[in-house]
Amino acid sequence: MLWEEMEPLFDEHPDLHKDKIFLAFLRHVQKLRMSRKGRFVRVHFKTGRVVDLVPEGSLASGVEMEHDERRRCGWKFVSPKLQRAWQDFKTEYKKQN
C-alpha cells in the first residue's frame, strides 16, 4: 500500500503534508497504481496464505520471479522505485508550471 511506503518519509519530514507538489505526486502515483502500470496478480492458497505476484516494471509491491545465471528460478520481494518516480515527477511538474 502506498501509505505504508510513504509513512517513514512523513515521519522524517512532517512538512510534506502541506507541500503542493508532493501531494500532487501522491495523487499521480495513486492514479498510476490504479492503471495497467500498477497491475499484479493476487494468489490465494488453500492454506490461507496470499501472495501478490508482480510483473517486471509494475508499480505494485509483492514478489517477482527471478532467474539466475544457472537458469534457476527464485522469488524476490519488490516494491516500486518511488525515489526515481519522485525525481521524474518533479522534473515534469517544473516543466509544466
pLDDT tens column, 59-81: 888 898 887 777 778 888 888 87
What's the average model confidence in pLDDT over 5-9? 73
Q: Return the C-alpha cell found at 24.
A: 500532487
What's the average model confidence in pLDDT over 56-60? 84
pLDDT at 3: 65
Single-letter amino acid, residue 66: E
pLDDT at 53: 92
pLDDT at 79: 83
With cell 520481494, the residue in question is 77
**Which helix or strand (DSSP H or E) is residue 91 part of?**
helix 82-96
| 46 or 83, which is more confident | 46
